[in-house]
A and B are shown apart, each in its own frame.
Chain A
Amino acid sequence: MSIELRHISKSYGPYQILKDINLTIQTGELVALLGPSGSGKTSLLRVLAGLEYADEGLILFHGEDLTNAPIKKRKAGFVFQHYALFDTMTIRDNIAYGLNVKRRKDRPSKQQIRERVDQLLHLVRLEPYGDRYPSQLSGGQRQRVALARALAIQPHILLLDEPFGALDAKVRKELRQWLRHLHQQVKMTSLLVTHDQEEAFEVADRVIIINKGQIEQIGTPSEVYENPVNSFVYDFIGNVNQVRGTISDGLFTNGSFRVPVDNTEQADGVAFIRPDQFAIRTPDDIQEAGRTLAATVTHIHPSGSIIKLELIGQDEDQNLEVEVTRREFDALALSKNQQVFLEARKVKVFTVN
């Protein structure tokens, strides 16, 4: 079941929270909606589920216009950040709820419901917990119950609102992999809302970056990471160093640091360089002097396979972050307060408005 959104807009009083959202999700795709808090991503999900209505625009499920359809007709499975399990019901009753509330002619028999619940308990690996209550389960287990409950009605689409946001880091990581695996099994069209870019990149086929109610970029995780379309996306996705400078005559300049740019107009600019896109050089082996910044090492985080370095540039307020592999680090024999030259392999310059 594909989903298409056309020109969706929504306001709360004077605040416009969704601005002309256009978006297509293909059948069986898992798409992550990634944005900072307050960017409108949860509102968009709720509009899709029918929990809220858009002021303008169209919502099409497999070509069928469901813009003003009631919640029930959309058959959307919804997983909430805080689980929203029914505390007074057992896990089995929670999962069976969507089936039990069906109209009599559509409702499966008791036997069928029992079998379906068994299957789902197996799917979410909670077979022994069927007769417990939600309060007796851990956060990760509860969220798996919530997922089983959403899947029980065989929804057309699965909507997940920060599903792992309330869980601790380790459980979150486990559940992420599990969700990826589950999606490969059931191949359901899914939209996952998150503010955690690592989560979005690990789980999703495609990522939608949303900010202030507008879509900034849509693409596969690697497309978005490699080629951010604007400074917001660059800044939001992963760590990035920002070097301020001026643009004139097709050249971005900060001291001796010069990078050619397409823009020929006179403007202020920011150069974005990822921490892993710096090569550390000694004065002798600088290859392109124009792409090199002089800096002093202020801190070394020696943990893990990637060594993180904090440096300070020649301008006192220019902080830089560099990541090198352990092997490079050992070869360079770096120490604190050492002066080095950072040669940028890849730079992207955006003008500042």
Chain B
Amino acid sequence: MAELSVSTKPGNLLQTRRRVARTLTEPLWIRTLLTVIVIAFIALFLILPLIFIFAQAFQNGVGVYWAAVSSSDALSSITLTLTVLVIVVPINTVFGILLAWTTTKYRFRGKSLVVTLADLPFSISPVIGGLIFVLMFGDHGILGPWLLAHHIQLVFNTIGICIATLFVTYPFVARELIPLMENQGRLEEEASLVLGAGTLRTFFKVTLPNIKWGLLYGVILCSARAIGDFGAVSVVSGHIVGQTNTMPLQVQAFYDGYQMTAAFALSSLMSVVAIVSLALKSYIDWKSTRPE
């Protein structure tokens, strides 16, 4: 007790703070070195390849580039990717909200297990994710004979690709929302209920406005992954050019066929999507941390 009361004297506090400040600041040369290493790494492994992609894509001029991205194979892969995007992202947005809502607003047995399982797609290789669905729904899979008998095809087509993408991208929205909603608690919702609003109205009027930036952030991450996933989709797609090749799969198809310009052209399109999502993400960061 006596020691405690001594150290809270203002003079001592100032001294302590100064000492902390000194130990927290490394000499200038160390700071410079560490910064240079980080910048060099980013330049070498992230920025340089990006520039290279665009350089290669436009190597033979805009005309060739345009021809490459508007070829029927490229167009079909773009259409397929967009189709998957339009189907998967809304489903996972709704599911993500549902998951975050139930795990943060309700108390139930096994809740922490559900939250942990929600992270599964992050820790498991996407290839395995794809393989699971082939083993379940494929012709020789567990449900295969039954599906075949009922003329339902769930692999090697758009539906299969959607299912695999759903698996890979489902945690993104929930992961953004769970900490946010946990932090906000249930007070405002309770206030709304007491004022006579029903559950749905409470959600749209009170919960949704509070989580809108986090939700948007999650949707963008989810979309970026839905466009770019290779592993799971590669297993379930069957690689049918012009039919079941999404953009990343088509890039590989072009590359394997020595169509370098086409491969890089399609890559450049995907890079643009990535850059736009990053820009949106930073905008949302900025917007959501700003006071109303």
A102 touches B196 (CB 8 A): yes
- B188-201 Cβ-contact flags toward A at 8 Å (1 or 0): 10111111111001
Contact call A84/B205, Cβ cutoff below 8 A: no
Residues of chain A within 8 A of B198, CB atoms compared: 72, 101
User: Which of A77, A84, A135 meets B190, CB within 8 Å?
Assistant: A84
Q: Is A236 at the interface (CB under 8 A from chain B)?
A: no
Q: Are A82 and B187 in contact (CB under 8 A)?
A: yes
Contact assessment for B193 and A71 in the assembled complex, using a CB-CB cutoff below 8 Å: yes
In the assembled complex, the Cα of A163 lies from the Cα of B289 at a distance in Å of 29
Contact across chains for B191 and A84 when beta carbons are under 8 A apart = yes
Within 8 A of B (CB), among A76-129: 76-78, 80, 82, 84-89, 97-98, 101-102
Count of chain A residues with Cβ under 8 Å from any Cβ of B? Answer: 28
Q: Mark A51-87, 1 if CB is under 8 A from B, else 0.
A: 1000000000000000000011001111010101111
Contact with A along B205-224 (1 / 0, CB 8 A): 11001100000000000000
A308 within 8 Å of B by Cβ? no
- Identify the interface centre among B193, B195, B197, B291: most chain A CB within 10 Å of its CB: B195
Are A76's CB and B187's CB within 8 A? no
Distance, CA A51 to CA B187, complexed state (A): 11
Nearest Cβ distance between residue B13 and chain A, in whole angstroms?
24
Instruction: Tell whether B292 is near chain A: CB-to-CB under 8 Å.
Output: yes
Measured CA separation A350–B205 after assembly (Å): 55
Q: Which residues of B contact A75 (CB under 8 A)?
A: 196
Q: Are B205 and A49 in contact (CB under 8 A)?
A: no
Verify B206–A71 contact, CB threshold 8 A.
no
Kindly identify which residue among B187, B195, B209, B210 contacts A97, using a CB–CB cutoff of 8 Å: B195
CA distance A274 to B197 in the complex (A): 49
A133 touches B197 (CB 8 A): no
User: Is A153 positioned at the interface, with any CB of B under 8 Å from its CB?
Assistant: yes
Complex contact B188–A71 (CB within 8 A): no
Specify which of B190, B206, B291 is in contact with A51 (CB 8 Å cutoff): B190
What are the residues of chain A within 8 A of B196 when measuring CB–CB?
71-72, 75, 98, 101-102, 153
Of A51, A88, A146, A153, the residue contacting B209 (CB under 8 A) is: A88
CB neighbours of A76 from chain B (8 A) = 194
For the complex, give the distance between the alpha carbons of A87 and B208 in Å. 12
Q: In the bound complex, do residue B192 and residue A97 qualify as a contact, i.e. CB atoms below 8 Å apart?
A: yes
B205 touches A101 (CB 8 A): yes
Q: How far is the CA of A84 from the CA of B206 in the complex (A)?
A: 11
Q: A149 within 8 Å of B by Cβ?
A: yes
Q: How far is the CB of A305 from chain B (nearest CB, A)?
A: 32
* 5 residue pairs, one from A and one from B, having the closest CB atoms: A98-B195, A101-B197, A88-B209, A84-B187, A84-B191
Q: B residues within 8 Å of A by Cβ?
A: 187-188, 190-198, 201, 205-206, 209-210, 291-292
A positions within 8 Å CB-CB of B:
49-51, 71-72, 75-78, 80, 82, 84-89, 97-98, 101-102, 133, 135, 146, 149-150, 152-153
